[in-house]
Homo-oligomer: A and B are copies of this chain.
Amino acid sequence: MSENLRFVLDEADMPTHWYNIVADFPTPPPPPLHPGTREPVGPDDLAALFPPELIAQEVTTERYVEIPEAVRDVYRQFRPSPLVRARTWEKALGTNARIYYKYEGVSPAGSHKTNTAIPQVYYNSINGVTKLTTETGAGQWGTALSYASAFFGLECEVWQVGASFDTKPQRRTLIEVYGGTVHRSPSQLTEFGKTLPADHPGSLGIAISEAVEVAAQNDSIKYALGSVLNHVLLHQSIIGEEALKQLAMAGEESADIVVGCAGGGSNLAGLTFPFLRENLQGRTSTRIVAVEPASCPTLTKGQYRYDFGDTGGMTPLMKMYTLGHSFVPSPIHAGGLRYHAMAPLVSHAVHEGYIEAVALHQRECFETALEFARTEGIVPAPESSHALAQAKRFALEANEQGTSPVIVIGLSGHGLLELGAYESYLAGRLEDDALSQADVDAALAELPEI
């Protein structure tokens, strides 16, 4: 076992290919359907929004996709990201578990979102696209896309969920520092936005509808999505590919448990799909665990069915765990992870039993986040704190059982731009909120059957 705390791959050992889980699923995931015809969508249906390379990645069944050299050159500004042994936290927990965290907060935008922002902007840039539109909730995705757009010389226009826009001016400034433009959503700039009151708190689904509407109107403008879609999950797989190599550097044969937070699903998939490949190919039997907030319990209380990705019903229908596309998560919850559904590939993996799901309350997550900050030094993003809290549960369970599992945590980002939420927690103003199964069923019953 290595005595190092941090396992840092050399740039030369950075993975050269993304991994596509579709190639290893024994049963293929159900296809997306056209919102009008309800027939499986073809590449042409997506051409108004995405460049051809991303559409090809969306539907490919190849196991590996090469990472373009131009993308790797930008990745090298912050990748490979470190895998860190949480020795001080282990000591505080009095555990024999060996706890590692894969830290994506080292990226310029402070989270894993850059991993897909960079290739998305790159593929658009080589197709003559001059502007990208997108949504952002907590703000990480808008920041990442703005950073990547600056690098490749594209304009970037971001619709930020109203509630987040109103309370997080720092996020907006950061997006502007990288050269992006930010609008409060719902805005008066889109037909869909005009249908809503100007003081509406907004939601991710609404912001997506606005960004899609603007992109669909102009050939030189495309849309970029920060999670959910297959190509986004593909790009994030570099996280898990690196982590596997780094675990080996640390002298570990394999992980017993891998745990990540799940909102739209791209962070979870990025870390865990390469571990799932090892399981599906029979080399390991790692437990893979998705952690979602009790206030937005897509996987644990939603239904696995076809639904829209956005509130306006403009996107293809996707088979996924959903709370209904008109669901607006309670503003009580501080972190991101507020999407009404879960990425189709993650949903498929959960439905097939390859990934477990749990839902946690936020106060437990913040309590663990503080403990982590005071031992490991890093202030976790509120989203990431969900993975930490569940990992702590596993470590304490192991103490009771006298075992010493290897636990790998996806620490998807830092919380330095979310200190307002920490301030609320420290002041005792954060409340827990859980959606009952009856609430969810009632919401879903109102949706048309597809």
* A positions within 8 Å CB-CB of B: 4-6, 8, 10-12, 76-78, 84, 88, 106-110, 147, 150-151, 169-170, 173-174, 176-179, 370, 373-379, 416-417, 419-420, 422-423, 426
Contacts and interface: CB of A to CB of B under 8 A. Distances in A.
Contact of A77 (B147, B176, B179, B377): B377
A110 B416 contact: yes
Given A5-B11, A77-B377, A108-B377, A416 B150 contact: no
Contacts of A375: 150-151
A377 B8 contact: no
Q: Which 6 A-B pairs have the closest CB atoms?
A: A108-B377, A150-B374, A173-B419, A173-B423, A170-B419, A5-B76
B379 A177 contact: yes
Contacts of A173: 419-420, 422-423, 426
B177 A77 contact: no
A335 to B, nearest CB: 15
B147 A377 contact: yes
A155 to B, nearest CB: 13
B419 A177 contact: yes
A378 B422 CA distance: 24
A294 to B, nearest CB: 23
Contacts of A109: 377
A373 B151 CA distance: 10
A377 B417 contact: no
Contact of A416 (B107, B169, B377, B416): B416
Contact of A6 (B76, B147, B177): B76
Nearest to A11: B4
Contacts of A374: 150-151, 177-179
A130 B207 CA distance: 51
A395 to B, nearest CB: 19
Given A106-B106, A108-B377, A169-B423, A5 B177 contact: no
A10 B375 CA distance: 22
Nearest to A423: B173
